[in-house]
Amino acid sequence: MSAHALAGALRDAAQMVARVAAGASLAGQFERIAEGGSDTPRAALLDLTHGTLRRYGRVQKIVAELSRRGNPDPQVEALLWCSLYALESGRYAEYTVVDQAVRACRLLEKWNAKGYVNAVLRGALRERVALEVRIGADPEALHQHPRWWVDAARTAYPDQWQQVLAAGNSHPPMALRVNRRRGSVGEYEARLAAEQIAARRVVGDALLLERPVPAERLPGFAAGDVSVQDAAAQRAVPCLDLAPGQRVLDACAAPGGKTAHILETAEVELTAIDSDPERTGRIGRNLERLGLTAKKVASADCRQPAQWWDGVPFDRILADVPCSASGIVRRHPDVKWLRRAQDIPAFAARQGAILDGLWQVLGPGGKLLYVTCSVFPQENEAVVEAFLRRAPHASRLDLADGGPAQWLPGAEHDGFYYALIQKRA
């Protein structure tokens, strides 16, 4: 992106980040951009918005330290946050960022803010050493997570909490899942190498790219030969212990990554449901690209079996339940600022209700895999332990890969939790 185009990118990013600060989701903002169009390349918007929100605690504190205006206009404040990220990213010359941020004020029709934006950004450059000292004692600025989140991570992982938070601020890895109905992992590795895309095997058969690339660049992506899926998420299907002919339910299936993985792995009779009608539509589109067919795809609340269940028990159930998304926050950096501490017990209550509903449709001897992309024990061990205490004939099994239930986010994968529960005959 040219230096001259940076003003427009800062304007668009500031508008999006301002809406997130007011409570909107970042994914929703990108859907608006896709529908309404924008002159700013999507890659540039992804960088500015995600980068800013990963550093949200830091850039907020810097503006608060330098501002003499009290409460600035929300869009102007968001412009400053995005501009500070652009300065610290090293992608642009410092004078270019300052100049283009001032130009962005005009594009935002915030003409009176030009001098203010110029002064704050120049102050950030001039006082950078002193600023580091002043904001260094603030947990939100230092760890770039809300204070309650920092405290929760420290409590849950006394020896690893800083690594967990640091992972949440990092760029996520890009892993691939090869469609076994189309070819082997080794064959696909060779295809990547031919395209000069460096990759290596990590967990199971996941292929981790050395550098992320647009999905469209992946050989055979459009034809369904491969999917983008985090390595930790790929752990789910091997832990289900699938066999041909089984009745399988993917209970919280959207957007369909694990649904597809199930069908790529075994000849089963699969039902996929999700409570969000719009997201449910994505399941069918994903299956179509991969050349796969489920017995049934429907929008339904898995907590209410009477509304959708045909009365025939399932042999396997995958329950990838709604959660805080604290294990994948680097992919969705708005989440850590939209979540509140009180959301965690609310998620736990919903997760428990989902387990209670699904237990009714699991057959004797059947297995249910409980999954979250959370690192908070309140959504994981606490939910499973409470369920085991109240559920008849429930027993917990070891995971097929012999690994721990909780995987924390790291360089190769996101943070996921798994628990396999069997209904005794």
**What residue spans of 200-290 are helical by DSSP H?**
236-239, 257-265, 277-290
> What kind and span of H or E run contains 365?
strand 362-372
Q: Is residue 170 part of a domain?
A: no
Q: Is residue 164 part of a domain?
A: no
Provide the pLDDT confidence category of residue 39 given band limits of 50, 70 and 90: confident
pLDDT over 70 (residue 2)? no
Q: Is residue 73 part of a domain?
A: yes
Name the residue with tokens 């079996």. 305
Q: Is residue 154 part of a domain?
A: no
The pLDDT tens digits of the residues spanning 304-330 come to: 999 999 999 999 999 999 999 999 999
* DSSP assignment letter at 87: H
Provide the pLDDT confidence category of residue 34 given band limits of 50, 70 and 90: low
Which residue type is seen at 424? R
pLDDT of residue 401: 92
Q: How far apart are CA 53 and CA 66, in angstroms?
A: 19
Tell me: do 217 and 239 sit in the same domain.
no
Q: Looking at residue 62, which CATH number applies to its domain?
A: 1.10.940.10
Q: How far apart are CA 243 and CA 233, in angstroms?
A: 20
Mark which of 144, 161, 190 sits at the end of a domain.
144
Please, are residues 361 and 411 in contact by the beta-carbon 8 Å criterion? no
Q: Looking at residue 343, which CATH number applies to its domain?
A: 3.40.50.150
Q: How far apart are CA 141 and CA 421, in angstroms?
A: 41
* DSSP assignment letter at 299: E
Which whole number is the average pLDDT over 282-297?
A: 96
Provide the pLDDT confidence category of residue 385 given band limits of 50, 70 and 90: very high
Tell me: do 329 and 180 sit in the same domain.
no
Mark which of 208, 228, 248 sits at the end of a domain.
228
Tell me: do 376 and 267 sit in the same domain.
yes
Q: pTM to 2 decimals?
A: 0.93
Tell me: do 59 and 185 sit in the same domain.
no
Which whole number is the average pLDDT over 13-21?
A: 95
The pLDDT tens digits of the residues spanning 267-278 come to: 999 999 999 998
Considering only CA atoms, which of 87, 92, 50, 45 is closest in space to residue 66?
A: 87
CA distances from 388 to 275, 304, 349, 383 (A): 25, 20, 15, 9
Q: Which of 63-77, 115-129, 402-416 comes out lowest in average pLDDT?
A: 63-77
Q: Sheet containing 199-201: which strands, arranged edge to edge? A: 199-201, 207-209, 175-178, 226-228
Considering only CA atoms, which of 251, 268, 404 is closest in space to residue 320?
A: 251
Tell me: do 329 and 391 sit in the same domain.
yes
The pLDDT tens digits of the residues spanning 155-175 come to: 999 999 999 999 999 999 999
Q: Is residue 161 part of a domain?
A: no
The verdict on whether 323 is a catalytic residue reads no
The tokens describing 384, both together, are 């499973």
Which whole number is the average pLDDT over 350-367?
A: 98
pLDDT over 90 (residue 183)? yes
- Cβ neighbours for 96, distance < 8 A, ≥ 6 positions apart: 3, 6
Which whole number is the average pLDDT over 28-40?
A: 75
Tell me: do 211 and 239 sit in the same domain.
no
- Cβ neighbours for 162, distance < 8 A, ≥ 6 positions apart: 143
The tokens describing 183, both together, are 């070819």
pLDDT of residue 290: 96
Q: How far apart are CA 313 and CA 308, in angstroms?
A: 13
CA distances from 324 to 138, 332, 334 (A): 24, 11, 12
Tell me: do 31 and 118 sit in the same domain.
yes
Tell me: do 244 and 283 sit in the same domain.
yes
Q: Is residue 219 part of a domain?
A: yes
Q: How many domains does the chain have?
A: 3
Options 82, 239, 252, 373, the catalytic residue = 373
pLDDT over 70 (residue 182)? yes
Tell me: do 288 and 342 sit in the same domain.
yes
Q: How far apart are CA 266 and CA 264, in angstroms?
A: 6
Within 10 Å of residue 404's Cβ, how many Cβ atoms?
10
First vs last Cα of the chain: how many Å apart? Answer: 62
Domain range for 179: 175-228
Q: Is residue 41 part of a domain?
A: yes
Tell me: do 98 and 216 sit in the same domain.
no
Tell me: do 49 and 98 sit in the same domain.
yes
Q: Which of 32-36, 159-163, 238-242 comes out lowest in average pLDDT?
A: 32-36
pLDDT over 80 (residue 32)? no
Q: How far apart are CA 297 and CA 260, in angstroms?
A: 12
Tell me: do 185 and 295 sit in the same domain.
no
Q: Is residue 121 part of a domain?
A: yes
Mark which of 160, 195, 228 sits at the end of a domain.
228
